[in-house]
């Protein structure tokens, strides 16, 4: 429709007053992904308590389930995506089998030729208001991030006008959601928090990716080399997770169609499960790499100050067991869960525990032959709860001595081709969750959690 403000006009609004950039597209895209991670991991941690809304183009930019669950979104997408994202499509973030509630809906809107295809994202919550975009011609590319209320008010006015002219119903919903947020508090310290964290993420990424010869056992890596390895690992895990999250978003939107054949639906559900499993797996690798960067003394301080909370471990395991069973069945394995009755709650980090437990089961089961049974038990052990994993095929497991270190975080078994977190990295993850992991080889894995 003629007269509609283009999304490029919104980018120009955000870019107004910002000095011209001088980056290339590859470096600016790297900055964009780092900015998205910083926004979701560092600024929007409390969004579940506040709610909010987001507007994006040309594809959904947000991907963290805990953020998406409480945010209403509008996404301008190319026409060729219309078969996947209908205007009424709902994004169901998280994994449905883990008890995530339906939320985080977005409405699909058509992208016009004049809109441009550079990424654009505006997020509004009671405590955080921010606009991000990529802009500039070749050789003058730049990441623009704006927190100032005046600029964001102008950008929102343009977006509201665009909605009003193209879809008055969506414009009305947008204004209602804005009003429901109540007073907005613009924290002048947001930029002070955001830019250093973004710089930290970018600094952790190796400036150039070069193939280095494998260090021999008698040539230990220097701290600088280990830092480069961790930076590269963090960059690679993030680059893997982000497109997988976008693929999962599109798959889940497609699954809401009613005209899919049974075979197509089953295949899409398998893809969805694989994406979710690998997103969680690479998320753990990323976290393990971050922990490995911290000196032991710093890590101990953070462990003591970690936000541990009362967690019903029994209920969490029962809730996740069906998902784990399906994941194991894809490798021909079975899961048996044995939980003692009336167990007390434990102290842990509930936000990380779900994914880490799934990673532990994946790590334990990777080398098991098809037909094996994985037994998970939870029972009291004095002032702690004892979670134990063992297998009906323990004596047939591949020789753990074949595991070879791949840097400080990963290990690789050449006999099976299995790449997984090292024992040390897994132990660090559980220490951050309040647990203590013991790997007893053929006797299985054991984790102790302190009871409340």
pLDDT of residue 169: 92
Q: Confirm whether 281 is domain-assigned.
A: yes
Whether 259 and 377 map to the same domain: the answer is no
Q: Are 1 and 166 in contact (CB under 8 A)?
A: yes
pLDDT of residue 307: 64
Q: Confirm whether 431 is domain-assigned.
A: yes
Whether 53 and 147 map to the same domain: the answer is yes
Beta bridge partners of 129: 124
Q: What is the spatial distance between Cα 386 and Cα 317, in angstroms, rounded to a whole number?
A: 13
Whether 266 and 322 map to the same domain: the answer is no
**Listed residues 267, 293, 319: the one ending a domain:** 293
Q: Are 424 and 357 in contact (CB under 8 A)?
A: no
- Give one DSSP letter per residue of 161-182, joined into a string: HHHHHH-HHHHHHHHHHHHHT-
Strands 373-381 and 404-406, bridge-based pairing:
unpaired
Give me the torsion for CA of 236, 237, 239, 242, rounded to 10°: 180
pLDDT of residue 418: 65
Whether 234 and 168 map to the same domain: the answer is no
Residues 6+ apart with CB under 8 A from 171: 160, 163, 164
pLDDT of residue 1: 45
**Listed residues 293, 320, 340: the one ending a domain:** 293
Whether 229 and 358 map to the same domain: the answer is no
pLDDT of residue 296: 55
pLDDT of residue 5: 82
| Structure-token pair, residue 32 | 């964009």
Q: What is the spatial distance between Cα 377 and Cα 448, in angstroms, rounded to a whole number?
A: 12
Q: Are 324 and 432 in contact (CB under 8 A)?
A: no
From the list 93, 75, 96, 72, the residue with the least C-alpha distance to 84 is 75
Whether 373 and 241 map to the same domain: the answer is no
pTM reported for the whole predicted model = 0.50
Residues 6+ apart with CB under 8 A from 247: 271, 275
Q: How many domains does the chain have?
A: 3
Q: Confirm whether 381 is domain-assigned.
A: yes
Strands 106-110 and 71-77, bridge-based pairing:
parallel
Whether 49 and 191 map to the same domain: the answer is yes
Whether 245 and 144 map to the same domain: the answer is no
Q: What is the spatial distance between Cα 386 and Cα 330, in angstroms, rounded to a whole number?
A: 28
Q: Confirm whether 216 is domain-assigned.
A: no
What single DSSP character describes residue 127? S
Whether 288 and 310 map to the same domain: the answer is no
pLDDT of residue 447: 93
Q: What is the spatial distance between Cα 288 and Cα 327, in angstroms, rounded to a whole number?
A: 22
Q: Confirm whether 300 is domain-assigned.
A: no
Number of Cβ within 10 Å of residue 186's Cβ equals 13
Whether 432 and 362 map to the same domain: the answer is yes
Q: What is the spatial distance between Cα 391 and Cα 368, in angstroms, rounded to a whole number?
A: 8
| Structure-token pair, residue 21 | 């950039």
Instruction: Assign 19 to helix, strand or coil.
Output: coil
Q: Confirm whether 334 is domain-assigned.
A: yes
Its domain, for residue 137, covers 7-196
Angle between helices 25-38 and 190-204 in degrees, nearest 10: 120
**Listed residues 161, 177, 196: the one ending a domain:** 196
pLDDT of residue 43: 86
Whether 192 and 253 map to the same domain: the answer is no
Q: Confirm whether 211 is domain-assigned.
A: no
Whether 258 and 371 map to the same domain: the answer is no
Residues in the chain predicted with pLDDT less than 50, given as ranges, are 1, 81-104, 206-222, 225, 297-299, 301, 304-305, 394-401
Strands 410-413 and 404-406, bridge-based pairing:
antiparallel
Q: Confirm whether 208 is domain-assigned.
A: no
What CATH number did the domain enclosing 316 receive?
3.30.565.10
């Amino acid at each position: 429709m003629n007269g509609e403000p283009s999304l490029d006009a919104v980018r120009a609004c955000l870019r107004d007053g910002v000095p011209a950039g001088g980056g290339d597209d590859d470096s600016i895209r790297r900055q964009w992904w780092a900015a998205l991670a910083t926004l979701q991991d560092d600024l929007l941690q409390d969004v579940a308590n506040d709610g909010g809304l987001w507007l994006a183009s040309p594809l959904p930019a947000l991907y963290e389930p805990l953020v998406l669950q409480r945010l209403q979104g509008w996404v301008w997408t190319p026409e060729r995506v219309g078969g996947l994202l209908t205007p009424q499509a709902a994004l169901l973030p998280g994994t449905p089998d883990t008890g995530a509630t339906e939320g985080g809906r977005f409405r699909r809107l058509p992208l016009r030729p004049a809109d441009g295809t550079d990424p654009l994202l505006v997020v509004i919550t009671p405590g955080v208001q921010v606009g991000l975009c990529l802009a500039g011609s070749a050789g003058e590319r730049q990441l623009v991030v704006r927190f100032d209320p005046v600029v964001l008010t102008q950008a929102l006015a343009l977006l509201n006008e665009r909605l009003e002219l193209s879809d008055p119903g969506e414009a009305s919903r947008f204004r209602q959601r804005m009003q429901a947020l109540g007073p907005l508090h613009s924290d002048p310290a947001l930029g002070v928090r955001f830019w250093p964290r973004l710089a930290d993420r970018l600094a952790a990424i190796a400036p150039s990716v070069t193939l280095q010869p494998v260090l021999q056992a008698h040539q230990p890596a220097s701290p600088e080399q280990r830092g480069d390895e961790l930076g590269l690992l963090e960059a690679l895990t993030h680059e893997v997770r982000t497109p997988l999250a976008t693929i999962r978003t599109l798959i889940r939107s497609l699954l809401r169609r009613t005209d899919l054949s049974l075979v197509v639906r089953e295949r899409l559900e398998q893809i969805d499960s694989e994406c979710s499993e690998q997103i969680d797996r690479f998320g753990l690798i990323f976290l393990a790499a971050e922990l490995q960067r911290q000196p032991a003394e710093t890590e101990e301080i953070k462990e003591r100050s970690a936000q541990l909370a009362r967690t019903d471990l029994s209920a969490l395991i029962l809730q996740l067991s069906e998902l784990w069973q399906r994941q194991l069945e894809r490798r021909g394995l079975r899961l048996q869960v044995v939980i003692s009755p009336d167990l007390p709650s434990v102290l842990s980090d509930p936000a990380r525990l779900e994914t880490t437990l799934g990673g532990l089961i994946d790590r334990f089961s990777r080398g098991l032959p098809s037909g094996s049974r994985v037994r998970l038990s939870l029972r009291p052990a004095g002032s702690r709860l004892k979670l134990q994993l063992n297998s009906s095929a323990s004596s047939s497991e591949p020789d753990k001595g074949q595991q070879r270190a791949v840097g400080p975080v990963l290990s690789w078994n050449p006999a099976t081709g299995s790449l997984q977190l090292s024992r040390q990295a897994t132990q660090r993850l559980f220490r951050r969750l309040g647990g203590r992991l013991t790997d007893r080889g053929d006797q299985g894995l054991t984790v102790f959690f302190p009871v409340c």
